[in-house]
Chains A and B, each alone.
Chain A
Amino acid sequence: MPPRPLAQSPRKVFDGFGFCQRSVSAFVQPRTVEDVAAVLSRASEEGIRLGMRGSGRSYGDAALNGGGLILDMRHMGRVLSWDAQRGVIEAEPGLTIRELWTRTLADGWWPPVVSGTAWPTLGGCVAMNIHGKNHFRMGGISDHVLELDLITPGGEHVTLSPTRDPELFFGVLGGFGMLGVVTRIKLQLKRVYSGRLKVQQFHTPTLQSQLERFEQHTQDSDYLVSWVDCITSGAGLGRAQIHRATYLHDGEDPDGVAMLDPARQDLPGHIMGVPKSVVPKLLKLFSFNLGMQAVNLVKYAASVVGSTKPYLQGHAAFHFLLDYVPEFRQSYAPGGFIQYQPFVPKEVALPVLTELLRRTQRAGIVSYLGVLKRYRPDRVLLPHALDGYSLAMDFPVTATNKADLWRLCGELSDVVTEAGGRFYPAKDSVLRPQDVQRAWGQDRLSRFAALRRRADPRGVLRTEWAERVGLDVFDR
C-alpha cells in the first residue's frame, strides 16, 4: 500500500509559547534520518509546505505552520556519542537542553550556552542560535557547534562545519529552519568544576547606572543579567536588580563535585515561601498594570535591602528561571502574552532603551517583566546579537489591547532599526517585513535568499513567522 499523503496526516492545534498565536497543522513525527529524508522528498512532490518544531518554546509563530505540515522533531532525540574527556557530544536535534546536561554534568561538563528554560530542543537552539546570560563572553550556541548534518528539501545530505561549506553552516545556524532539517549536532561543552556558580545580586537605581555596572562587570563575570522595572517612570526609569555569576575554579567549592550530580540540581519547590504550583494563580491576581507595578516595587525593594554578598547557586537554579514555575504563562491567561526583545548597539543603548521604555509608558501598555542582557557580535549570517544590549519585555495580550500593542511595537521597531538594532525570531510576534529588512540589510538577506534557492529550490520550508516577515517575497 502506498503511504498516505502527508496532507492526510493527523492534525493538531499548535501554539507559540506566548499562546496568543495558534493554528491547526497536520503533523508527522520522524524517528530516523531516513524518515526525515522521505518526508522532505514527499513534501516536495505533494506540494505541501513544511515547518519544523521542537518543544514549541518560541514565543510567537516561528514554529507554527497553519494549513501546512509540522515536522515534530521530538522523537529524534538520541545522544549519538559522548566524549567525557573532551566534552564533545553528538546528538539528534530532538534532545532537550535538560536531557543534555543531565547526561553530561556528572562528568564535569555544562552546555556553554543555555536559554532561560531547559526545555528547548537542540534543533530549535541551533535554528534560532539561542543565547544565554553569557553572550558577551561565550557568544551564541553557534559558537560551540563543531559540526552539523543537514538534509535539504532539494535532497542534499551534507555535513557542515566552520570550515566545510561555511556559508551554508553559518546560514543554517540562526536560519530559523529555512534551509533544511538538521539531523545531527556536534557540540563542544564547557568544563565546570562545581555544580554551582558564585552569584551576586545588587541593585541599580537608574538605567544609566545599570548600563555602567554591566560595562564594569563584563570582564570579571561569566554571566550577567538584570531584571528591569519597566513600569516605574521619572527618576527611577529603568531601575534594576542585576545578577552576576562566575564559574568556580577547581577546588574552590568544597561540595562542588557532589553538586555535579544532576539530582542535586533540582529547582526549588517554593518561591519566596509560595508553593510553585500556586504562583501562576497568585500572579494572575496581580496581572493588571497597577498590580504589576506593586510586584515590581516589592521585587526592587527586596533587591535594595537584600545582601550583595556572593552566594552559591546550582547551575539549573541560576539559569532556568522560566522553569521555576511550571506553566507560569497561565498567569497571562486567557489572552496570552508576547515578548518584544530588541537588540541595540551599546553606543546608543542608553538613549534608545530610555526612549523605548518611555514610549511604552506613554502608551499605557507597560511590560510586566523586563530583562536586560549584554551581547557581542555574532558570526552567523542572520544574527540577532550585536555589540550591545537586549531588553526583553513581556506584554500581556488582551482582547482590548491587541491592536494598540501591535501598533506600539511597530513604533518601537522603527526606533530600534533607526538605531541600527536587531530582533530575535524565537521571541517575535510583531515584526513587519520592513523591520526585518532594515535590521539585517540587503546584503545579508540576499545571501540568505541565495542559500534558500540552493537548499530549497521548490520553497518547501515555511513557517508563519517567515511568511509574516516576508522572507518569501524577499527571495524573488
Chain B
Amino acid sequence: MSTAFPRVLIVGASSGIGATLALKLAGTGAKVAAVARRQAELDALAAQSSGRVLPYAGDVLDYAATPALFDRVLDDLGGLDLFIYNAGVMPAVEESEYNFDKDRQMIEVNFLAAVQWSNLAAAHFEAARAGVLCGVSSVAGERGRRGSPVYTASKAGLTAYFEAMRNRLTRYGVRVVTIKPGPVQTPMTEGLKLPLMIPADRAADEIISALEGGATEAFVPAIWRPIMFVVRNVPSFVFTKTNI
C-alpha cells in the first residue's frame, strides 16, 4: 500500500484523535511512532496495527528526556515525514475558579511541550528541506472564552506558534498544518454537552484528508470555518454579554 507519509511521529497518541490517527495512518502503510504516557494503551495500538504502530512511553512534561526520545524515534524510523503534536488536556474549570495548578498543566501540555516537540521536528525538517509539521490546536483558540480562559489561551498560543512556524518553514519546503477541531467525542470531552460534536473516527479522517490534500489550516469539521469567522468578528462588548 502506498502512503503519503511513510514515517510518522504522533505525540499524544494513546486515546482519542491521536490513537485513531495512529491506527488509520498505520493502515495506509505508514510506520507510526506513538508517544504517550500510558504504556498499556500504546501496546494495544501496536497489537491492533500488527506492529505498524511503535509504542514509546514518555511524558511530554519530562522536558529533559524529550530530546533523546525524539532522537531515538528518528533513529528507529530512519527519518521522519510527518510530525503531529496532538497531546492536550482540558480539566473542568468551574465558574469563578482560578486554579493555577490546572492552568499550569494546560499551558504545559497544550502549549509548552508542543513547542519543545515541534521545535525538534521543525529543525529536522528545515535541515532536510522537507516534511509536514502538524499541530492539533482547537477552535477554542480563536477567542478567549469565559468558561475556559487558560484552555483557550493555550490553544490560541499554539495556533500563533504554528502560524509562526509556517512563516518560518514554508520557504524551506516544509508544510506546516494547523488543525482546528471543534468538539470531538474523546475521553477529554466525555460527559460534556458540546455543540456539533463528531466522533473521533470522523475527525481523524478529516485530518488525514487535510494532511494528504496539502492544506495548511483545517477546521474539523469544515462547518467551523464560517462559524468561527463570525465568532472572531463579534465585537468584544457583545462577546462579554454571551455565554460562549
Interface centre among B67, B68, B124, B129 (most CB of A within 10 A): B67
A72 to chain B, nearest CB (A): 15
Q: Is A12 an interface residue (CB 8 A)?
A: yes
Q: Which residue of B lies closest to A5 (CB)?
A: B64
B221 to chain A, nearest CB (A): 36
Please provide the chain B residues from 53 to 76 with a CB less than 8 Å away from any CB of chain A in the complex.
64, 67-68, 71
A121 to chain B, nearest CB (A): 23
Known A-B contacts A7-B67, A11-B67; A22 and B123 likewise in contact (beta carbons under 8 Å): no
Q: Which of A22, A23, A67 contacts B71 (CB 8 A)?
A: A67
Find out whether the CB atom of B127 lies under 8 angstroms from the CB atom of A8. Answer: no
Q: Is A13 an interface residue (CB 8 A)?
A: yes
Q: Give complex CA distance A26, B120 in Å.
A: 11
Q: Which of A7, A8, A24 contacts B123 (CB 8 A)?
A: A24
Find out whether the CB atom of A24 lies under 8 angstroms from the CB atom of B124. Answer: yes
Known A-B contacts A11-B119, A11-B120; A24 and B67 likewise in contact (beta carbons under 8 Å): no
B219 to chain A, nearest CB (A): 31
Q: Which residue of B lies closest to A22 (CB)?
A: B127
Q: Is B126 an interface residue (CB 8 A)?
A: yes
Q: Give complex CA distance A26, B124 in Å.
A: 12
Please provide the chain B residues from 126 to 168 with a CB less than 8 Å away from any CB of chain A in the complex.
126-127, 129
Find out whether the CB atom of A11 lies under 8 angstroms from the CB atom of B64. Answer: no
Please provide the chain A residues from 5 to 31 with a CB less than 8 Å away from any CB of chain B in the complex.
5, 7-8, 11-13, 22-24, 26
Q: Which residue of A lies closest to B173 (CB)?
A: A334
Interface residues on A, range: 10 to 19
Q: Is A309 an interface residue (CB 8 A)?
A: no
Question: For residue B127, which residues in chain A have a CB less than 8 angstroms away from its CB?
Answer: 13, 22-24, 66
Q: Give complex CA distance A248, B108 in Å.
A: 66
A5 to chain B, nearest CB (A): 8
A64 to chain B, nearest CB (A): 10
Q: Is A4 an interface residue (CB 8 A)?
A: yes
B65 to chain A, nearest CB (A): 9
Q: Give complex CA distance A37, B129 in Å.
A: 35
A427 to chain B, nearest CB (A): 21
Q: Which residue of A lies closest to B122 (CB)?
A: A13
Find out whether the CB atom of A11 lies under 8 angstroms from the CB atom of B68. Answer: no
Find out whether the CB atom of B123 lies under 8 angstroms from the CB atom of A13. Answer: yes
Question: For residue A5, which residues in chain B have a CB less than 8 angstroms away from its CB?
Answer: 64
Q: Mark A258-301, 1 if CB is under 8 A from B, else 0.
A: 00000000000000000000000000000000000000000000
Using a CB–CB cutoff of 8 Å, the interface residues on chain B facing chain A are 64, 67-68, 71, 119-120, 123-124, 126-127, 129
6 contacts between A and B (CB under 8 A): A7-B67, A8-B67, A11-B67, A13-B123, A13-B126, A67-B71
Given contacts A11-B67, A24-B126, A334-B129, 13 further A-B contacts (CB under 8 A): A11-B120, A11-B123, A13-B123, A13-B126, A13-B127, A22-B126, A22-B127, A22-B129, A23-B127, A24-B124, A24-B127, A66-B127, A67-B71
For the complex of A and B, list the 3 residue pairs with the smallest distance between their C-beta atoms, beginning with the closest: A22-B127, A24-B123, A13-B127
